[in-house]
Structure 1
C-alpha cells in the first residue's frame, strides 16, 4: 500500500523487521560479514540464483 512514500504494515510485521535488523546488526558486529559464504547468502536473499539455493 504505497502512498506518497509511506507504507502501511502491521505492528507485528514492524516488530519482526526490527528484530531481524537487530539480529543482523549483532551478527555483523561479531564478524559474520567476514564469513566466506556471506556474499553468496546476500545474493540468495536478493532473489537471484546462487549455487546453494538454486
Structure 2
C-alpha cells in the first residue's frame, strides 16, 4: 500500500508542476509581448509625431 501512495504522490507532483510551469510561462510570455508592444508603440508615436510636425512646417 505504501508503494501505491508513493506512485500517487509522484503523479500528483508531476501534474502540479506541469500546471505551475504552464502558468509561469504564460505570464512570462504575456510580459514579453506587452514589452514588445510598448516599444513598438513608442516608435510609432515618434514616427507619427515627426510626420505631423513635418506637415505642419510645410504649410
- Whether the TM-score (by the shorter chain) exceeds 0.5 is no
* Shorter-chain TM-score range: 0.3 to 0.5
TM score, norm. by length of structure 1: 0.41
TM score, norm. by length of structure 2: 0.38
Greater gyration radius: 2
Higher helix share: 2
